[in-house]
Structure 1
Amino acid sequence: MQLLDWIIVILFLGALTTIGFLFSRKNKNVEDYFLGGRSMPTWLVAFAAVGTSISAGTFVGAPQIAFDGNFTYIMLSVGAIVGGLMAAYIILPALYKANTITIYGYLGNRFGDGAKTATSIMFLLGQLLTSGSRLFIAAIAVSVMLYNDILFPNLIASIVILGIISTIYTMAGGIKGLIYIDTIQILLVIGTGLIAIYLLFSAIPLSLGEIVNVLENTESGNKLQVIDTRFSLTEPYNLIGALFACAIFKFAQYSTDQEFVQRQLTCKSVKKAASSLVYSQIISLPVVVIFMIIGSLLYVFYSRPELLGAAAPSDLLNDSRQVFPQYMFNHMPTGILGLMVVGLLAAALSSFNSAINSMTSSLFSDLYLPWRQKRDKGTVKIKSELKESRFLVIIMGIVLTGFAIIAALMQEAGDQSLVDFALGIMSFSYAGMLGIFLCAVLTRRGNVYSVVAALITGCLVVLLLQPGILSYWSTLLFGVTLKLAWPWWVVVGGSISFLVCCIGKKKELVTK
């Protein structure tokens, strides 16, 4: 990177920090800090939610999927629209009506404080690995930028740098600042993605028709295939997987994950909250398509040099995980590279800062505040609470950065793509929480004990469905090696957890 590129990146990071501190003055209490006073406009929340969904996993991971495979990953976004509609009309009204800082407060009203505490802890544990994996993916590109490789020590250094930057401006502005920042960041992501497509088309001396012909006739098949009609439970993005399993996974995400639902709870009404959720998923679809196109063009650029003549790249690609970052840093002109790095950082930081804020809101509202009120016998000090909230943001930022390093170790040991790895990790917490929320909204069953049992059950079921473990016990018991694609883990685990949660009989809560 040249001086101009660094200036662009520094100005971007400085702008984010400034926006965060400007909004810090508008936070009068913890509800402002975590929910924006429930006054945010629908369109702004929708774009901010896209920023939360479109993480570095999309910026770096989607091009890898298109490079290695085809366009069927787009079907996940189709399933997300279905799942978003389900969450908007089945779960969101109950969560909004509960009028609590976090969605787990609703479970406290429904089952008792023990259920709120247990579910909040499960969310925090799951989010540590989930958001840690996203930060790790973003660090891949930063490592290429700073060190021109993705060796593990350099990845760790890149993770720490990103963690520090994101924690600072998240601590300052609260949810209001983050929503505005996330909106700016997703627009930057879209813009830089379109620039990358233009540059790749310019670098490949083939017509659009010739490029399409190359991609449709590769040794591995048609790389432009979008719909896979095969009935198979081992493929994550075929038609049945997308419209059912991916839809259920996304339904769980938009119903049980404070990081995602928190955005909707800042809207003025449940109707506006539902609209923002559905709109965000519709907007996300073309964004994913942009980065899939980038990956397919990179396939032509790096894998078919014989077609490019003098335009063939001189750098060799050793790891498909770094295909887009490698192209950025080796082939983009000065100034444009700075803008692309800004887009990458925008994708990375938008998801990480929302994770920090949502985890802090859960830790503060569901765990710390009840303990403190009990200690102080109900005394409430607004200024003190705001100060404590910001301190907890710093703690969450440090912890999440540590778990990003653990996620890097886990991904190195596996063979999943970056995107599948990040999404699969979420299933451990989503399965049990989905069963609990469905039991709470759709039935009159359940109590604190069945909630805890459902959380444990969901986690254990997903563990048993992991590729290596599933193949081992299925061969041992049935003599057949079974495999189940990651979107089905939440379907199976959530269904069993729902039944476990419903076993408990509802207990009437004593109100004071």
Structure 2
Amino acid sequence: MQTIDIVVIIVYLLCSAWLGLKLSGRQRDVKDYFIGNRELPWWAVCLSVVATETSALTVISVPGVAYLGDVTFLQVAVGYLLGRIVVAFLLLPRYYRGEMTTAYAYLGLRFGRGMQATASVTFLFTRLLADGVRLFAAAIPMKIILDSIGLEVSYFAIVAIMGVVTILYTLVGGIRAVVWVDVLQMGLYCVGGVVALVVIATSLDVNFLAVAAEEGKTRFLDFTSNPISAPYATVTAVLGGALLSTASHGADQLIVQRLLGCRTLRDAQKAVIVSGVVVFVQFALFLTVGLALYSYFERATVEQLGMSTSDELFPVFIAEGLPAGLSGLLLAGIMAAAMSTLSSSLSALSSSTMADLYEKFSRRRLEGEQALRMSRLFTLGWGLVFIGAAAMFTGTDNPVVELGLSVASITYGGLLGAFFLGLWVRRARQIDAAIAFAVAVATMAWLFLFEPGLVGFTWYTAIGSAITLGLGYLLSRRHREDSPTADADADPSPATRH
């Protein structure tokens, strides 16, 4: 690690803030601030979606998944594409028909403001934990490299620096700044991944793909593992990935907010489906980096290399194996991945807090500059909370990408099940949905905390959805078929419009 690497990182941080502010333009109102006045091009939204969900977890942890095992993780991306198709044609039309600014406005229309608030609060809590993991993941390689050159810097300090820069351009520029900086950041970390792969491949005396094939690491499909406990057994990975993607891209405000920024429903559908293809390619890139690292480190185990987890493999290579300047580029790429997710989360959290909680329960409808100021205050507040949440994580025994997906999946199933309950069970009322949702989340939290090995994390969304939908249906049988209930396809009330 040399001076030029530090310069590259500092230049990246300054450019991110400047570009975000420069590209965002002046925000006129809340609709402009949160969904870009629905004027964003679909391809930019597509790349922003990918950058948002990729985060630093993919960059540093997915190579470790291939290093320890094989490339069966790629099956999850196949499920992701299938789930996005469901979102495009089942859920997006309802959001666009109602001119909504949050995913949970649909639940408010269908069941009532209590369910809307429940879903929104759940989203806030889950996003805080999951993206706290993501921010912590980005700090891992930075700390490893700074420690190697004698700079003892805490995880908190690293997280705080990334957080402050991200808060700055998100606070001022809104969703436009987030989307356009996401596009640039995605390009940076993908270029970094390609550069790393080329450097590793050219430094080896052997064909790393041949070595990986010899060790059975190029296996893509897995029909032999237990589909209940093995997260990457084919049925589990594809089905679990499809349901996880349906929930994350159809019931999570983090992604839905971007899709609502497209000019038309057709543009939003293109953005979400094409993003699935791009994610598959990205996973393939970083899994291939992991296979190359297996030959680079001469097939050594993590313990033999003196590391505590596989998440350190790629960062150590960045510190020791890349020429001066390229190390800084790769680190900037990892920071870019983390900051793109954080900026997206800040925008989504503030929009959900504003529309689903503040306006609903204060019964105050702010307009113009006053609403914009309040939205920015929420953005600032959540940014500070995120920095604190990320500082709580100090390590993990499993690849951090699995920890992040597991945390998010605790509530994804309940959220997706609530949407399906509203769509398919017309007798269901708010109390039915709320009870079923609470039972589903409690069950998944118990599995995550006390029985983490009982089922693979890729089953979490499926189990949670089944509990919510099944229990909600049974509870709905108490009501007469002609009992009054909100129409799932009706236009939203004025309170849900923006």
TM over 0.5: yes
> Shift of the alpha carbon at 1:86?
1.2
Name the residue aligned to 1:254: 249
The separation in 2 between residues aligned to 1:171 and 1:354, in whole angstroms, is 11
Percent of residue pairs bearing the same amino acid type: 27
Q: Aligned ranges for residues 395-414 of structure 1 at < 5 Å?
A: 395-406=381-392, 408-409=393-394, 412=396
Deviation readout 1:306-328 (Å, 9 max, x if unpaired): xxxxxxxx985453221111110
Name the residue aligned to 2:444: 462
> Shift of the alpha carbon at 1:362?
0.4
Opposite residue 216 of structure 1, the aligned amino acid is: A
Please tell me whether residue 213 in structure 1 is matched to residue 210 in structure 2.
Answer: yes
Name the residue aligned to 1:364: 354
The separation in 1 between residues aligned to 2:198 and 2:23, in whole angstroms, is 36
Given that residues 143 and 149 in structure 1 are in contact (C-alpha distance below 8 angstroms), is that contact kept between their aligned partners in structure 2?
no
Name the residue aligned to 1:27: 27
Please tell me whether residue 391 in structure 1 is matched to residue 377 in structure 2.
Answer: yes
> Shift of the alpha carbon at 1:302?
1.4
Given that residues 240 and 462 in structure 2 are in contact (C-alpha distance below 8 angstroms), is that contact kept between their aligned partners in structure 1?
yes
Name the residue aligned to 2:259: 264
The separation in 1 between residues aligned to 2:244 and 2:115, in whole angstroms, is 22
> Shift of the alpha carbon at 1:14?
1.4
Given the alignment, which residue of 400, 418, 431 partners 2:400? 418
> Shift of the alpha carbon at 1:157?
2.7
> Shift of the alpha carbon at 1:508?
4.1
Please tell me whether residue 431 in structure 1 is matched to residue 413 in structure 2.
Answer: yes
> Shift of the alpha carbon at 1:107?
1.1
> Shift of the alpha carbon at 1:24?
4.9
Given that residues 147 and 154 in structure 1 are in contact (C-alpha distance below 8 angstroms), is that contact kept between their aligned partners in structure 2?
no
> Shift of the alpha carbon at 1:417?
1.8
Deviation readout 1:410-454 (Å, 9 max, x if unpaired): x53xx3221111100011211211111011222323222223212
The separation in 1 between residues aligned to 2:22 and 2:372, in whole angstroms, is 16
> Shift of the alpha carbon at 1:90?
1.4
Name the residue aligned to 2:464: 493
The separation in 2 between residues aligned to 1:398 and 1:373, in whole angstroms, is 27
The separation in 1 between residues aligned to 2:150 and 2:66, in whole angstroms, is 20
| SS class of match (1:187) | helix
Name the residue aligned to 1:479: none
Given the alignment, which residue of 242, 260, 264 partners 2:237? 242
Please tell me whether residue 289 in structure 1 is matched to residue 284 in structure 2.
Answer: yes
Q: Aligned ranges for residues 4-403 of structure 1 at < 5 Å?
A: 4-148=4-148, 154-206=154-206, 208=207, 211-218=208-215, 222-230=216-224, 232-304=227-299, 317-374=307-364, 378=365, 380-403=366-389
> Shift of the alpha carbon at 1:137?
0.9
Opposite residue 263 of structure 1, the aligned amino acid is: R
| SS class of match (1:71) | coil
The separation in 2 between residues aligned to 1:390 and 1:85, in whole angstroms, is 33
My pick for the range that moved more, 437-446 or 145-154, is 145-154
> Shift of the alpha carbon at 1:98?
1.9
My pick for the range that moved more, 96-105 or 175-184, is 96-105
| SS class of match (1:91) | helix
The separation in 2 between residues aligned to 1:228 and 1:110, in whole angstroms, is 41
> Shift of the alpha carbon at 1:225?
1.2
The separation in 1 between residues aligned to 2:149 and 2:229, in whole angstroms, is 33
The separation in 2 between residues aligned to 1:152 and 1:329, in whole angstroms, is 15
Opposite residue 445 of structure 1, the aligned amino acid is: R
My pick for the range that moved more, 320-329 or 445-454, is 445-454
| SS class of match (1:232) | coil
> Shift of the alpha carbon at 1:357?
0.9
The separation in 2 between residues aligned to 1:24 and 1:381, in whole angstroms, is 21
Given that residues 111 and 507 in structure 1 are in contact (C-alpha distance below 8 angstroms), is that contact kept between their aligned partners in structure 2?
no
Name the residue aligned to 2:432: 450
Gaps of 5+ in 2: 487-491
Opposite residue 472 of structure 2, the aligned amino acid is: C
Given that residues 38 and 260 in structure 2 are in contact (C-alpha distance below 8 angstroms), is that contact kept between their aligned partners in structure 1?
yes
The separation in 2 between residues aligned to 1:138 and 1:334, in whole angstroms, is 20
Gaps of 5+ in 1: 306-313, 472-482
The separation in 2 between residues aligned to 1:451 and 1:304, in whole angstroms, is 51
Deviation readout 1:326-385 (Å, 9 max, x if unpaired): 1101121112122112211111111111111111110111112234444xxx4x331111
- Give the direction of change, closer, same or farther, for the CA distance of 1:114–1:467 in structure 2 (3 Å limit): closer
- Give the direction of change, closer, same or farther, for the CA distance of 1:392–1:251 in structure 2 (3 Å limit): same
> Shift of the alpha carbon at 1:463?
2.3
The total of aligned residue pairs comes to 479
The separation in 1 between residues aligned to 2:307 and 2:390, in whole angstroms, is 25
Given that residues 143 and 150 in structure 1 are in contact (C-alpha distance below 8 angstroms), is that contact kept between their aligned partners in structure 2?
no
> Shift of the alpha carbon at 1:467?
7.2
Opposite residue 223 of structure 1, the aligned amino acid is: K
Opposite residue 6 of structure 1, the aligned amino acid is: I
The separation in 2 between residues aligned to 1:315 and 1:148, in whole angstroms, is 15
- Give the direction of change, closer, same or farther, for the CA distance of 1:443–1:25 in structure 2 (3 Å limit): same
Deviation readout 1:67-88 (Å, 9 max, x if unpaired): 1111111111111001111111
Opposite residue 338 of structure 1, the aligned amino acid is: G
The separation in 2 between residues aligned to 1:151 and 1:427, in whole angstroms, is 36
The separation in 1 between residues aligned to 2:450 and 2:440, in whole angstroms, is 18
The separation in 1 between residues aligned to 2:342 and 2:240, in whole angstroms, is 26
Root-mean-square deviation (Å): 2.4
Q: Aligned ranges for residues 474-493 of structure 1 at < 5 Å?
A: 483-493=454-464
The separation in 2 between residues aligned to 1:44 and 1:403, in whole angstroms, is 29
The separation in 1 between residues aligned to 2:172 and 2:493, in whole angstroms, is 36
Given that residues 63 and 324 in structure 1 are in contact (C-alpha distance below 8 angstroms), is that contact kept between their aligned partners in structure 2?
yes
> Shift of the alpha carbon at 1:132?
0.8
Name the residue aligned to 2:489: none
- Give the direction of change, closer, same or farther, for the CA distance of 1:470–1:188 in structure 2 (3 Å limit): closer
Given that residues 132 and 389 in structure 2 are in contact (C-alpha distance below 8 angstroms), is that contact kept between their aligned partners in structure 1?
yes
| SS class of match (1:70) | coil
- Give the direction of change, closer, same or farther, for the CA distance of 1:507–1:121 in structure 2 (3 Å limit): farther
> Shift of the alpha carbon at 1:200?
0.3
> Shift of the alpha carbon at 1:286?
1.0
> Shift of the alpha carbon at 1:143?
1.2
The separation in 2 between residues aligned to 1:118 and 1:216, in whole angstroms, is 48
